[in-house]
Amino acid sequence: MKEYNPVFDFIKGIGIFLVVLGHTLCPSHFLINVFHMPLFFFISGMTFHDPDDIRNFILKKINRIMVPYVFFTILSVLICFLIYESPKLSSGFDFNEPLWFLQTLFLGLMIYLFLCKVISNRIYLTFVVFLLAFISYYTTKIGIAESFPWHIMRAFMALLFIHFGCLFSSLSNVIVLKGGRQYVVLLLSGVIYCMSCLISMYKYYECESFSFVGSQVYTYNFVLFLLASISGIIFVVIICNMLKYNRFICYLGGDSLIVLCVHFPVIEQLNIIASKTFLYTFNVGKVILMVMIVSIIMLWSFLCVKICNKYIPQWTGFKNLL
């Protein structure tokens, strides 16, 4: 079993900050969307281990992922019933769109567990994972991905980042990234990320075209998407490994699931209010609004984490319900 490293909470803290930032009025949100959700799949892969007790592993993931998913989905639907006169069941998911991640993460981990049990050769496993990811890309491109049950195509793409995280964890134990090596990898990943984004913007006019967001993988070029997302992930991981840990960020990173589930409905309302102010009419004003919104959401999230962990820990993954 892999030993848990506190750097994971710091990385998740930075990751959830980027998720919040990407949902604000940030003018360059597409640059963040390329890798901020794959980053969480990657961290799940880094902490993944092939368990001997499969039942215990599945039960743990149900408690940590699916119980909060069901709880926050029901809560979102109920809130929609209070806000809208004739809400549809699906409006709860629209109201709190980031909940898609929990469903995709759970399904991705279950599929990856199955693949690890039936494919012992790492090279063959990598080939199968890439094949499933390409199927996800292609079915999205031709517009049939959403016709598959339980949005399984999203999970196929998530598999790629889970597997990459698992490989990176294994390789980092052999190739210790310290000193000059860190700076070399940081520079290379930064250059690859920037070049991938520039080529995409030049060729397809918008980086949004290959972002892993919402219910689909929006991509015109599978290779550019992989280069940008993987290099962006490595860049963030190396930076976090070099920086001194911030306690507040680590705290939110440890409960990033709660932050993910509670920030979106509030940030949507704040964005609407902000877009109607005079500050929104010029670029500096937009930056000021963005900083204000992110600050409010971080404090709101901190309060929600405190309340959830104290009063309903079994429903938010802090303690086991089953």
- Tally DSSP H helices, then E strands, for the chain: 14, 2
The whole-number pLDDT of residue 81 equals 79
Threshold 0.85, pTM exceeds: yes
The whole-number pLDDT of residue 281 equals 85
Predicted confidence (pLDDT) per residue in 172-185, tens digit: 654 556 667 788 88
Predicted confidence (pLDDT) per residue in 88-103, tens digit: 554 445 678 899 899 9
| DSSP-assigned letters across all residues of 98-141 | GGHHHHHHHHHHHHHHHHHHH---HHHHHHHHHHHHHHHHHHHH
Show the low-confidence residues of the chain (pLDDT under 70). 1-5, 27-30, 84-94, 172-179, 203-220
The whole-number pLDDT of residue 18 equals 92
Residue written as tokens 């052999």? 174
- Report the alpha-carbon distance of residue 304 to residue 70 in Å, rounded: 17
The whole-number pLDDT of residue 198 equals 82
Q: Which residues fall within 8 angstroms of residue 303, CB to CB, at 6 or more apart? A: none
At 3 the three-state DSSP class reads coil
Residue written as tokens 């989905």? 73
- Report the alpha-carbon distance of residue 224 to residue 61 in Å, rounded: 32
Domain ranges for the chain: 7-311
Question: How many Cα atoms are found within 13 Å in the side-chain-facing hemisphere of 97?
Answer: 12
For residue 249, give the nearest of 189, 191, 301 by alpha carbon: 301
The whole-number pLDDT of residue 84 equals 66
Residue written as tokens 């399984």? 152
